[in-house]
Amino acid sequence: MASTTQIPAPPARRTAPSNRQGRKHGVGAKRTKGPGRLRPNYLGGLGGWLWLAIIIVPIYYVVVTSLKNQAGFFTSNPMMPPTEPTLDNYKLVLDNDFAMYFANSLIVTVGSVVPALLVSFMAAYAIVRGKGRFLTWTNNTFLLGLAIPLHATIIPIYWMITKAHLYDTLLALILPSIAFAIPISVLILSNFMRDVPNELFESMRLDGCSDWAMMWRLALPMTRPAVVTVGIYNALGVWNGFLFPLILTQSPSTRVLPLSLWTFQGEFSVNIPAVLASVVLATLPLLVIYVVARRQLLSGLTAGFSK
């Protein structure tokens, strides 16, 4: 890693000096010009707060209800906080193998995101740096994957997974998840890699570097924001995935979190607060990550998709 630090920063779009966000870091106290100078945007502000209410009310309801006991749920006003808040619902959910479902989700997510990143990165490097009909064709195939609702292929995948005796294993979820993550990953990574100046590759090549070395010592450090973006985006998708687990697994020992919410709902259909506690518990890990890594996460996603 140390050898890569001398490489000058790429002219990434994210740091384009002319954008309005960038100006914030300019002359400290000076009021920014641009649209901000106009009359306050009352209509925009109103819409903004209204949308906030739309976002917050359901979340508030879920959290408040998850803290009520059965009696409180049936008797109190649904929007009022519980008079005697209780964590019993959380205890009930945690006693019901929640930790195992969590571990399964973690295994499937890490097990698909890391390989997907690795193969997509290598493919993006080859597509951006290489030439020839094979690579053009490969890239077009991936682009095609973006346009097709790949879930339509679930029946043959089910057949393949069954034939390979992988049905009801975590590997059954990991393999197709890797494949489905590839098109968008290659697209975003190759978009970023095109911005790495060619001269840098050329001078490394003249120094006798192999492609393997250039990939890890030049391309990877230069596209790190994109790698993070792609990683987060795929991780969210796999962590929250529902269709593959529904079709490719069956037993509780291979159950992942989203599916466990659904089965909790069936098991505790009369105990709505417990069901909602499971919703909160399943979301909590992501919320913690969001609070910690929000800036990176949002700027990564923004840059990844508006490029």
Helix (H) or strand (E) holding 105: helix 99-129
Output 29 or 74, the one with its CB closest to another protein.
74
Report the distance separating Cα 275 and Cα 261, nearest Å: 7
Beta carbons of 103 and 232 less than 8 angstroms apart: no
CA distance 237 to 245: 13
Residue 257's nearest CA partner among 173, 158, 155, 156 is 173
Site membership for another protein, residue 158 (CB under 8 A): yes
DSSP state, 86?
A: -
* Measured CA distances, 201 to 6, 206, 227 (Å): 14, 9, 19
Please identify, using beta-carbon distances, which residue of 196 and 272 lies nearer to another protein: 272
Q: Quick one: tokens of 257?
A: 């979190």
Sites for another protein among residues 258-297 (CB under 8 A):
258-259, 261-262, 265, 272, 275-276, 279, 282-283, 286-287, 290, 294
**CB–CB of 189/124 below 8 Å?**
yes
263: Cα separation from own chain's centroid: 24
SS3 call for 306: helix
Between 95 and 207, name the residue whose CB sits nearer to another protein. 207
| Nearest distance, CB of residue 74 and another protein, angstroms | 7
Which of 108, 80, 100, 62 is CA-nearest to residue 287?
62
- Least distance to another protein, CB of residue 22, Å: 8
CB of 14 to another protein, least distance (A): 9
* Contact mark string toward another protein, 194..213, x via CB under 8 A: -----x--x--xx----x--
Q: How far is CA 159 from CA 138, 155, 166, 241, 277, in A?
A: 25, 6, 10, 19, 36
Is 139 among the residues that bind another protein (CB under 8 A)? Answer: yes
The least distance separating another protein from the CB of residue 2, rounded to whole angstroms, comes to 24
Q: Which amino acid is at 123?
A: A
What part of residues 23-52 is at the interface with another protein (CB under 8 A)? 23-24, 32-39, 41, 44, 47-49, 51-52
For another protein, which is the closer residue by CB, 2 or 33? 33
Residues 92-111 that bind another protein (CB under 8 A): none
242 lies in the site for another protein, by CB under 8 A? yes
Please give the residues from 169 up to 198 whose contact with another protein meets the rule CB under 8 A. 175-176, 178-180, 182-183, 186, 190
Question: Considering the complex, what minimum distance in angstroms separates the CB of residue 87 from another protein?
Answer: 19
Is the Cβ of residue 55 or residue 87 nearer to another protein in the bound state? Answer: 55
Size of interface with another protein, in residues (CB under 8 A): 121
